[in-house]
Amino acid sequence: MENFDLERSPDGDLLRVAKPGPDLLRYPLYNKGTGFTHAERRKLGIEGLLPAEYNDIDTQAERIFKSIFYNRDDVGRNIGLAMLQDRNEVLFYKLLSQHIEEVMPIVYTPTVGDPLVDKNLLRKIRFAASLPNIHTQFLFTNGILLDRFGYDEILTSGITRLALSTYVGTRDGYKRFYGTDKYDKVVANLLGICRRNRELGSPVNITLHLRVSRDEGQWRETDTFKALAELIGEENIDFLTSYDAWSGMIGGDDVPEGCSIVEPIPIEEKQKVPCFELYRRLHVLSDGNVGACVCMDMEGEINVGNVNEQSLLEIWRGEKLKNYRREWVKGNLPQVCQKCTRYTPLTEFIEESRTRILTDYIGRSFPRLFKWVLEFQARRRAENLDSF
C-alpha cells in the first residue's frame, strides 16, 4: 500500500506523495488528468504532458461517462471502465457515484464464482465501505486466492465477515471434492489469514463452512482443524450432513461419504406460507435485473425489476414482488422454487431470527451506533480467543 501524508487546513486538504513528475500520472490513485490546475502542473513538473485545458472532476466525470456509454456493447463499456480505473481511480469512483445505476451492472462482480478472481474487488469493497448507508460487507470464498491481495489488504478493506467454504482432511480428499490439487495452498491461506486476523484484534468475523465426510473422526482430529478451531473458535465452524440437490444437478455421488441429498418439500406444504427469501433482500445481477432469492435463483427467474429503470426502494415496494408473494399462496410457485430444498417459511424465519431482524433494522436506521456495536463485538471476539 502507498504511503502519503494528508494535511488538513481551513483552506483545504493537501496530499503529499512521493511521486515525482511523470510518475504521478502513471499512478491511478493520484492522477487527476486534466484536473491538475496550471499552477499544479508547473509545480509538479508535468507541464506539456496533459491536454492544455483544465477541467474540474465533475466535468471530467460527465465527459468520460458519455464517451464510455456511447458504446452500446456492455463488454466494450466494461473495458472502458476498467481502463479508466487503471489510469485515474478517483475519477472512476466519481463517475460510479454519480451514475451508480448505469455503471454498477457493468462493473458488478458475479454472485456465482469466487469473488477474489476480480482484480478490482478490494477497490469496490473500500468504495462501498465509504458510503454512509452500507455498514456490513460479506465475502464468501473457497480460500484458493486469499493470498492474491495479501491478508492485511483483505482484512482491512472494509469487510465485516469472511466466510471460508472448503474441505479439511487430506490432499486426496480435497482433490476428490474440488477436482484440483490445491489443498496445501488452501490450508496455508486459511491458517495465514486466521492468524493475521487474530493478530489485528479480530476486526473481521471469520466463519468456516466445511464440505467433509459425515465421519468426523476423518477430519476433526487433524492438526489443520484443531489449529483453525483454536484461531476462530469452534462455534464459528459448521459442516453439512445433508446437501441440496440444486434442482437435480447434484446427486449422491457428488456429496461427501456418509452424507445424503435433501428431498424437496411438496408444493402443497410450501404454498401455505411464502418463503422468507421473498421478504428478506434483493440482489442485483450483472445486467441490472433484480431478483429476490440470492440463495438459489442464480439465473434470475424471479425478476422483480431492473436498476436501470427503477431505484431499489421502488423495486422493493413494487407490484412485481408483491405479485410473487400473492401467487405463492395460490400454489403458483416459480419453477426454481418448486424443487428447492432450502425453503423456509416466513413465519419460521421470524420466530428464529428475531435478534437478527432487530439488528438489521438498527443497522439501517442508526448506522453509527451499529458500527460501534460491530467494533465492540470484534473486541470481544479478540478477548475471548486470547483467553484460550
Longest Cα–Cα distance in the chain = 75
Residue 212 cell numbers, joined: 467433509
**Which ranges of 281-352 does DSSP label H, i.e. alpha helix?**
312-316, 319-328, 335-338, 346-352
Q: How far apart are the C-alpha atoms of 214 and 176, rounded to whole Å?
A: 15
H helix or E strand, kind and range, residue 283: strand 283-284
Cβ atoms of 137 and 162 closer than 8 Å: no
**Tens digit of pLDDT per residue, the chain (388 long)?**
455 566 666 766 666 766 667 777 777 777 888 888 888 888 888 888 888 888 888 898 888 888 888 877 776 787 788 788 878 888 888 888 888 777 766 665 544 468 888 888 898 898 888 887 777 888 999 999 999 899 999 999 999 999 999 999 888 888 887 778 899 999 999 999 999 999 999 999 999 999 888 888 889 999 999 999 999 999 999 998 888 777 666 777 778 888 888 888 888 999 999 999 999 888 888 778 899 987 778 778 899 999 889 998 999 999 999 999 999 999 999 988 888 888 889 999 888 888 777 777 776 677 667 667 666 766 666 666 555 4
Q: How many helices (H) and strands (E) does the chain have?
A: 19, 11
What pTM, to 2 d.p., does this model score? Answer: 0.62
Q: How far apart are the C-alpha atoms of 197 and 153, rounded to whole Å?
A: 11
Contacts 24+ apart (CB under 8 A), 344-352: 344/275, 344/276, 344/277, 345/272, 345/273, 345/274, 345/275, 345/276, 346/273, 346/274, 346/275, 346/276, 346/278, 346/279, 347/273, 348/273, 348/276, 349/276, 349/280, 350/276
CB atoms within 10 A of CB 61: 21
Phi, psi at 6, each rounded to 5°:
-110, 120
